A and B are shown apart, each in its own frame.
Chain A
Amino acid sequence: MCLAIPVEVISTDPEKDTAMVSLDGIKKEISVALIDDVQVGDYVLLHVGYAINKISPQEAEKTLELMAESGLLAPSVQEQLS
């Protein structure tokens, strides 16, 4: 469930608690009432017109690195294979 997509904040309107966000050239005004301290350049997760959380660029990078790692490093597996 819960379709949500990562979008970039390109401007904010603290008065209205909204932000203009962009995804590959598509722009839309969304509510940021559910998160604190939104800055231009942040990536947020957009769900039904609301930012429900921020996305951590560092953690995204780490996850991708983990995915690229060879699983054979796991010692238990090496034992099995040997």
Chain B
Amino acid sequence: MNEVTKRFQAKLNIKSGRIDMTHGSGGRAMNDLIEQLFQKHFENDYLNQKNDQAILPALGANERIVMATDSHVVSPLFFPGGDIGALSVHGTVNDVAMSGAKPLYLSAGFILEEGFALADLEKIVISMAKAAREAGVAIVTGDTKVVEKGKGDGVFISTTGIGVVSIDLDISGANAKPGDAVLINGTIGDHGVAIMSHRENLAFETEIISDSASLNGVIADMVKAVPEINVLRDPTRGGLASTLNEIAQQSGVGIKLMEDDIPVRSDVHAACEFLGLDPLYVANEGKVIVICPQDKAETLLEIMRNHPLGQHAAQIGTVHEDPNHFVTMETAFGGARVVDWLNGEQLPRIC
């Protein structure tokens, strides 16, 4: 930013200011918002080009581009263990990383509601910037729109991620094979329960915090040691159950889980009892399902357990042949059941 523009620029009143329609008008107010908030915190060479696009370096000879996009509409915006800003980075970084790729760049689209406090927006932007730095990605381009009051929920953030993956890797939801092991890097349901504990009408007190995190670090370690990994996927909405059903369908296999081996925090379990929910269907934001040849399972578990995001890693099941592509589970009780897709929305149950 050169001296001339700085002198004639109004200072954004972050402390008590609010988003109004001018912030999305394409005029000066929007420019102020972009420069004083987004560019300031996201700060990187590509964004500093100040063009409508970012021109990125060429790929290496053995690399392919990986791209993923994700929109974030979480309520509440700030929750124990995270906020919509960090989540919007973690979600897309993870989607890119699930191919075994190294995520490099993000774009960020903001839909802001008229009246939204600039102080909250700044908190969110700072959190995004921090999450991006931690994940080693740069937010290189973006967009801002403002909708009238009542037509949004504070802020929606849409992020798109680009990464690169070696041509030698073939990791896909379609690659699970009979005999493979099914692993997870830790406890399930933390994110969903942390969010629900703050929902109106359901509110309860708990120490549970969201597991929202970028998994590209631990995934890079795993892929490096065991390039034979068949599937990586993050069980977000719909929980572990729905994600495994997706994989079973895509790969044309059956999956059998051992309930006793699935890591669930005792307070998450308790919260689920409170609400009549099943932790298998509750959302995660920092978990990865790994499906690999059984003889590689121990190596991968070891790598995960040595990483801060995988201390409770466990093998939770196996892949087998099944023309029905069922996900089944041996219950902790000794019986068997189907683990179906999530049907409808997870609504707390009373009866």
Name A residues whose Cβ lies closer than 8 Å to a Cβ of B: 1-3, 5, 23-28, 46-48
The list of the 6 closest CB pairs from A to B, nearest first, reads A24-B270, A27-B205, A1-B351, A25-B267, A28-B204, A23-B270
Interface centre among A1, A2, A24 (most CB of B within 10 A): A24
Chain B nearest CB from A51 CB (Å) reads: 14
Q: Would you list which residues of chain B between 172 and 222 have a CB under 8 Å from chain A?
A: 203-207
Q: Which of B118-126, B271-279, B299-307 contacts A (4 or more CB under 8 A)?
A: B271-279
A28 pairs with B351, CB closer than 8 A: no
B351 pairs with A24, CB closer than 8 A: no
Q: Which B residues lie within 8 Å of A27 (CB)?
A: 204-206
Count the A-B residue pairs with Cβ separation under 8 angstroms: how many?
38
A23 pairs with B274, CB closer than 8 A: yes
Q: Which A residues lie within 8 Å of B266 (CB)?
A: 24-25
Q: Which A residues lie within 8 Å of B351 (CB)?
A: 1-3
Name B residues whose Cβ lies closer than 8 Å to a Cβ of A: 203-207, 266-267, 269-271, 273-274, 276, 349-351
A28 pairs with B269, CB closer than 8 A: no
CA–CA, A28 and B205, complex, Å: 6
Known A23-B274, A27-B205, A28-B205: A3·B269 in contact at CB below 8 Å: no
A25 pairs with B204, CB closer than 8 A: no
Measured CB to CB, the nearest residue on chain A to B204 is A28
Known A3-B351, A47-B350: A25·B274 in contact at CB below 8 Å: no
Q: Which residue of A1, A2, A24 contacts B267 across the interface (Cβ within 8 Å)?
A: A24
Q: Which A residues lie within 8 Å of B270 (CB)?
A: 23-26
CA–CA, A6 and B53, complex, Å: 57
B207 pairs with A24, CB closer than 8 A: no
Would you give 17 A-B contacts (Cβ < 8 Å), ordered by A?
Answer: A2-B351, A3-B276, A3-B349, A5-B274, A24-B269, A24-B270, A25-B207, A25-B267, A25-B270, A26-B270, A26-B271, A27-B204, A27-B205, A27-B206, A28-B203, A28-B204, A48-B350
A25 pairs with B273, CB closer than 8 A: no
Q: Which A residues lie within 8 Å of B267 (CB)?
A: 24-26
Measured CB to CB, the nearest residue on chain B to A27 is B205
Chain B nearest CB from A81 CB (Å) reads: 25
B350 pairs with A3, CB closer than 8 A: yes
Q: Which B residues lie within 8 Å of A23 (CB)?
A: 270, 273-274
Interface centre among A5, A26, A46 (most CB of B within 10 A): A26
A26 pairs with B206, CB closer than 8 A: yes
Chain A nearest CB from B271 CB (Å) reads: 5
Q: Which B residues lie within 8 Å of A2 (CB)?
A: 350-351
Known: A2-B351, A26-B267, A27-B204. 18 other contacts (CB 8 A): A3-B276, A3-B349, A3-B350, A3-B351, A5-B273, A24-B269, A24-B270, A25-B207, A25-B267, A25-B270, A26-B271, A26-B274, A27-B206, A28-B203, A28-B204, A28-B274, A46-B274, A48-B350
